[in-house]
Amino acid sequence: MSNVFDYIAWRGDLTFKENRLNSVDNFIFCMLSYIDMNRIFLNYNPNVRFSLSLASDEFCSNISEKEIRLGAILPSKDIRKLFEVAGRCNRFSKVEISDFVNRIDYSEEMQFCALTFHLSESEMFIAFRGTDDTLAGWKEDFKLSYLESIPSQKCAHEYLMSVANKYHDKKIYVGGHSKGGNLAKYAATYCDDTVKERIITVYNNDGPGFLADAIDIAEFEKIEPKVKNYIPQSSLVGQMFENRGQRIIVKSNVRGIYQHDCFSWQVKGAGVVALKKISRDGEKNNKFFDNSIMKMSPDERREFVKIFCEIIDQTGAKTLMEISEAKFKSVSSVMKSFKNLDKDKKALMYMFISRLMEAK
């Protein structure tokens, strides 16, 4: 089976002028958004455009694989390799990078990062960084279950408008992985109509959707034909909440939560190896959210997420993989500390954490 590296070896000689962006290019740009450009240029100026080749050379020459911390689901080795390989091929090396923004606000529990890839004189790709497997990032995702919007969504809207106005003569691709996919859809939904017209495609790569009443449906319908949601066959994150738009199920060569890693997604030529339906485990994840979490009231979901976060904090786990590998004795031992939690919610909490622990 082929992956993004095989794609670059096959298609890397053609520039974006010769062959326009496709779904696999989208995966590549979204994964490159996890690279910290501030670590490449100490005096980084967001108004200066620099080639991906230059950025790749600087990064790979000065930053080792061990210095990149993205968690187990997003392997640092593969992202560093992707940056190096892309920087050396004709297709990606001449792409220019600009407008890198990275904001973390612990008081608001907000993490936001975005950058712009200039494919040619007429097209650009705006990529929003998602979450890695750190539980801090996942907590922010879960807040989508009861908040109409989160701070990073508003940042994404402001970023898209700012970059669109700055490069007002360019057509736009917007995309992201994980939470970044949600940010891409949110930003595209609420941008001005003139910007919506310039958007070619909105890519959501295994990112969560929206609460039914938390999005302006009339505004979303204007961009819905342009939205592509890519999810692996056992997707967990990509099936959270409502994800309207085209859905493409991608074959992954790993199992369970490891499928969140785009490097495991199988490609064929300039497209993906698509499946007709999700796996049995993917169906379990979907039914769990529909039949439990989404039947709660917003206040109940708020309380549920609060308790969930407290339970996770007590385990001492810092990443989703630590939970999956059961590095704490048992969920039931932690649950005993919540004596005021009623029987039904305790059972639901146990089931919820158990779903996260599964890696089938």
Q: What is the mean pLDDT of residues 213-242?
A: 86
Residue 285 has pLDDT above 80, yes or no: no
Three-state DSSP at 174 gives strand
Alpha helices in the chain (DSSP H): 4-11, 23-32, 52-62, 76-88, 90-93, 135-142, 151-166, 179-190, 193-198, 217-223, 280-291, 298-315, 320-324, 331-335, 343-357
User: What pLDDT was estimated at residue 141?
Assistant: 73
Higher pLDDT, 249 or 46: 249
Comparing CA positions, the residue from 233, 232, 193, 227 lying closest to residue 210 is: 227
- On whether the CB atoms of residues 123 and 175 are closer than 8 A, the answer is no
In angstroms, the CA 129 to CA 115 distance is 8
Angle, nearest 10°, between helix axes 343-357 and 298-315?
60
Question: Six-digit token pair at 41?
Answer: 């240029």
Question: Six-digit token pair at 42?
Answer: 């100490």
User: What pLDDT was estimated at residue 341?
Assistant: 63
Comparing CA positions, the residue from 92, 93, 98 lying closest to residue 116 is: 98
Which backbone phi and psi does 100 adopt, to 5 degrees? Answer: -75, 130
Q: What is the mean pLDDT of residues 25-32?
A: 96
Q: What is the mean pLDDT of residues 183-212?
A: 93
Q: What is the mean pLDDT of residues 253-260?
A: 80
Higher pLDDT, 254 or 351: 254
User: What pLDDT was estimated at residue 360?
Assistant: 40
User: In Å, how far are 96, 99, 102, 145 from 115, measured between CA atoms?
Assistant: 11, 5, 9, 27
Model pTM score: 0.84
Banded pLDDT at 229 (limits 50, 70, 90): very high
- On whether the CB atoms of residues 2 and 267 are closer than 8 A, the answer is yes
β-bridge partners, 117: 97, 125
Q: Of the ranges 5-19, 216-230, 239-253, which one carries the lowest mean pLDDT score?
A: 239-253
Q: What is the mean pLDDT of residues 304-319?
A: 68
Higher pLDDT, 40 or 19: 19
Total count of residues recorded for the chain: 360
In angstroms, the CA 247 to CA 275 distance is 11
How do 123-128 and 110-118 pair as beta strands?
antiparallel
Largest CA distance in the chain: 64
Higher pLDDT, 234 or 29: 29
Banded pLDDT at 162 (limits 50, 70, 90): very high
Mean of the per-residue pLDDT values for the chain? 81
Q: Of the ranges 168-172, 238-242, 265-269, 352-356, which one carries the lowest mean pLDDT score?
A: 352-356
Question: Six-digit token pair at 179?
Answer: 């939470």
Banded pLDDT at 336 (limits 50, 70, 90): low
How do 96-105 and 50-51 pair as beta strands?
antiparallel
Q: Of the ranges 203-207, 209-213, 263-267, 289-293, which one carries the lowest mean pLDDT score?
A: 289-293
- How does pLDDT run across 30-78, given as a tens digit for each residue? 999 998 887 776 566 767 888 999 999 888 887 666 656 555 556 678 8
User: In Å, how far are 139, 143, 216, 311 from 294, measured between CA atoms?
Assistant: 17, 13, 19, 20
User: What pLDDT was estimated at residue 136?
Assistant: 64
Residue 329 has pLDDT above 60, yes or no: no
Q: Of the ranges 123-132, 182-191, 220-229, 312-321, which one carries the lowest mean pLDDT score?
A: 312-321
CB atoms within 10 A of CB 202: 27
Q: Exposed, middle or buried: residue 5 (CB in 10 Å: 0-12, 13-18, 19+)?
A: middle
Residue 248 has pLDDT above 70, yes or no: yes
Q: What is the mean pLDDT of residues 80-90?
A: 93
User: What pLDDT was estimated at residue 326?
Assistant: 47
